[in-house]
Amino acid sequence: MTKLKLGPLADDRPVKLTVEIPATVHRDLQAYAAALAAETGGSPASPEKLVAPMLARFMDTDRGFRRRRTKSD
């Protein structure tokens, strides 16, 4: 089995953000949480705990975003 892109979730101070997502995305987040728990040996995280690390990972690997971000710094 290939490794998931996310590793163990960091315990960081959160900022409250309210969003609506499609039910299909919520089910996929639940399935991802179960897969991550199976891979890391922990218990499944709640779907809302996955959103921030997934977004961070996405932005970290988006070359266009990184180029624009370094130009504006």
More confident call, 72 vs 54: 54
Rg (C-alpha) for the chain, rounded Å, is 14
The burial class, CB within 10 Å (0-12 / 13-18 / 19+), for 1 is exposed
Residue 1: what pLDDT? 62
Q: What is the mean pLDDT of the chain?
A: 88
Global pTM value = 0.74
**How does residue 45 score in pLDDT terms, banded at 50, 70 and 90?**
very high
What percentage of the chain exceeds 90 in pLDDT?
Answer: 52
Give mean pLDDT, residues 36-56: 92
Q: What is the mean pLDDT of residues 24-51?
A: 94
